[in-house]
Structure 1
């Protein structure tokens, strides 16, 4: 087989982890605890499902090709919401609706990079970003983070070369859970602008941020779109993961280039999912605030219950949005520990080796926990099982 760029990257981590379940049984009194994937496990609320059904039954356009850059009403609605959250000026012409946030990232890269270009990515990284950069022929330049899992601006500056086209950040972070402060994001924005590159900011988990108010002030810069490329996901906010509704917010000129990519890959985002996202923005603000409160309760339970694990040498490195990122105390690599947890404890989680370069030893000590899939009692049960693990 002729080597291809697609062959150069790794298998999808979540799918690989699911294969570890083959041949393993989980008794009724000890069911599988699946903290491998950051996705809502419940369907949309009844009102949203009804709105989707109504669109399917009464709107012919719900079954036809729509605009490549998305439904005008949804583009306008997200622009208005973005202004309301962050301040500044955002127009509908700055917004494209995409088939999920991963597609928004891919579309952004298509407008930025040629073969052999570089994008700086903090580690631990979001594996789908790394996979797409591999498949696009773009070099991922790892930016190691410290014990607090926050990237350092000066360290990033030292990595910029003549082939660097962007710095890609995720906040709240996947996989680390770390929330980047407004000051840190501003510093990265200023660095990117000064060096003539883009700042890609993926805020898929924005709606579950622990701080009140705007996460940053970047949209208040009147020329934000010369540097900032913003990504968002309706899927996490409204439990629309199966409908793939994301967004790319940038300059109209860049969207003109992204339209070529989007038209070729999907022609248009799914219409019914777009109707659902629009209905959600119009009707579910109070519900979404309640969802955030529940995620924050689960985050508090992660932090409050960690003491017994800390006594056994575990370290809670990061926590936020859907994720906790932990270091384990064993000599064993997380790559084999994660598989052993399935067999011995009925826990499915992802090893840190899936979020780091192969030559980075940090990943062997780390695990990602998608705790948003557990309620507070479930977190307690999860901790009980982890505490019984031996090296």
Structure 2
């Protein structure tokens, strides 16, 4: 049988799945791995999805999404993000934020173009960039995971089509200051390239303020913003998100959408509309609990063998390990011997030993036990 491979051959394997396949997972394992919130959807969203299944949920919608959902999104963007977007020309509903990102790349790039991605990066952004035949140009952030502007600007070439920012950040939790985002956005405008702003974790900030670059004066024309219902509304399995973009890209984005998915899942669209209309601040009600869990990590991981920058967003910490041992092997030992799942830093393009810790899916009891196991394991492995 044929054994040749196409464009996927040079792309890393799905890293979380690969890690979990390589180890024997204890029955009582505590996961600080995959980034999911501990809460589920609003009950109104579940009901809307159920009703859609019994009525018209089996049908396609418009490629861009049902109009009433796009109208609800436009109102949310105006109210929360201070972005004036039209439901008819600037908004497209997608099967999650990841599809929004790859739709964007397929619309604005050609094979051989370059996309600037900040390191540590979200591995699916890196994988998607390679999947569409482009070159991901990685630029390391500073010791607190904030972008270094000059380092970004000096790697732009005629092949560069966009600079990608994620704020609040996955995997580091960093919330980028307004002046940093404004400088990046202005530079993109000056260079006639796009600023892709992934704002999946917009509602998860602790003592910081989230900024949407498309809200800056006259910036919607070169800014593409990505949002997701997975985190803010506890709906990861519904696979629903949206992308906001300049109106001149609308017809081109439709071509990609129609080819890949035609439309986002219909029941999920009705669930998303219900969530926006009935519980627009759904995530906010859970932040006090999440902040208690966050503080357990901050207090518990004050140990000599790690360096943990205290970041203020999403629900991640990205800890640097004082060792020369590969973090992939450390993560495997932590799972098998200490019963705690973490994600090794190399899958995020970080050149030094590190681990991403996700605390969004934990209650206080689980957090205390998870930190206890992690500290015990790290002290033993690195000590």
TM-score (norm 2): 0.93
More deviation, 41-50/228-237: 41-50
Q: Which residue of 2 aligns with 1:102?
A: 98
- Would the alpha carbon gap of residues 137 and 197 (structure 1) be closer, same or farther in structure 2, given more than 3 Å must change? same
2:138 aligned residue (133, 139, 142)? 142
Structure-2 residue corresponding to 1:160: 156
Deviation at 1:334, TM superposition (A): 0.2
Matched-pair contact (CA < 8 Å) for 1:295–1:321: no
Deviation at 1:116, TM superposition (A): 0.5
Question: Which consecutive aligned stretches of 4+ in structure 1 deviate over 4 angstroms post-superposition?
Answer: 211-214
Farther-moved stretch of structure 1 (178-187 vs 198-207): 178-187
For residue 86 of structure 2, the aligned residue among 81, 86, 91 is 91
2:33 aligned with 1:36: yes
Aligned to 1:210: 206
Write the distance in 1 (CA, Å) between the matches of 2:208 and 2:322: 35
> How do 1:313-352 residues align onto structure 2 when only pairs under 5 Å count?
313-319=305-311, 320-352=313-345
How far does the alpha carbon of each residue in 1:110-151 deviate from its partner, in whole angstroms, 9 at most, with x for none?
111101100000011100011111111100001011211111
- The DSSP-based 3-state class of the residue aligned with 1:56 is helix
> In structure 1, the residue corresponding to 2:36 is in which secondary structure?
coil
Shift of 1:211: 4.4
- 1:276-318 per-residue CA deviation (whole Å, 9 max, x = no partner) reads 11111111135332123332332233223322xx2x3211135
Matched, 1:237 2:232: yes
Look up the SS of the partner of 2:308 in the other structure.
strand
Alpha-carbon distance change, 180 to 247 in structure 1, aligned in 2, over 3 angstroms: same
RMSD: 1.7
Aligned residue for 1:10? 12
Which structure 2 segments of 5+ residues have no match? Answer: none
Residue 372 and residue 94 in structure 1: after superposition, are their counterparts in 2 closer, same or farther (change >3 A)? same
Greater helix proportion: 1
Give, in whole Å, the separation in 2 of the partners of 1:324 and 1:301.
12
Residue pair 2:32, 2:357 contacting (<8 A) in 1 also: yes
Of residues 146-155 and 82-91 in structure 1, the stretch that sits farther from structure 2 once superposed is: 82-91
Q: Which residue of 2 aligns with 1:69?
A: 64
Tell me, in whole angstroms, the C-alpha distance in 2 between the residues paired with 1:41 and 1:229.
Answer: 29
From 35, 44, 48, the counterpart of 1:51: 48
Q: Could you tell me which residue of structure 2 aligns to residue 172 of structure 1?
A: 168
SS at match of 1:165: strand
**1:74 and 1:56, CA in 2 relative to 1: closer, same or farther beyond 3 A?**
same
Shift of 1:181: 1.2
Q: Is contact 2:233-2:282 (8 Å) kept?
A: no
Find out whether 1:275 has 2:270 as its counterpart.
Answer: yes
Q: Does the CA-based 8 Å contact 2:162-2:196 persist in structure 1?
A: yes
Deviation digits for residues 150-169 of structure 1, max 9, x if unmatched? 11111110000010000011
- Alpha-carbon separation, structure 1, partners of 2:213 and 2:226: 15
- Kept in 2, the 8 Å contact 1:75–1:97? The answer is yes
> Which residue of 351, 357, 372 maps to 1:361?
351
* CA spacing shift, 1:256–1:293, aligned 2, 3 Å: farther
The yes-or-no answer on 1:226 pairing with 2:216 is: no
Q: CA deviation at 1:195?
A: 0.9
Whether the 8 Å CA contact 1:143–1:156 is kept in 2: the answer is: yes
Deviation string 1:85-109 (CA, Å, 9 cap, x unpaired) is 1324222121100010000000110
Q: Distance in 1 between matches of 2:186 and 2:153?
A: 11
Equivalent pairs counted in the alignment come to 375
**TM-score for both structures, normalised by structure 1:** 0.91
TM superposition shift of 1:386: 1.8
> What's the counterpart of residue 193 of structure 1?
189
**Contact 1:5/1:135 (CA < 8 Å) preserved in 2?**
yes
2:214 touches 2:224 (CA, 8 Å); kept in 1? no
**Structure 1, unpaired ranges of 5+:** none
Q: Distance in 2 between matches of 1:128 and 1:36?
A: 15
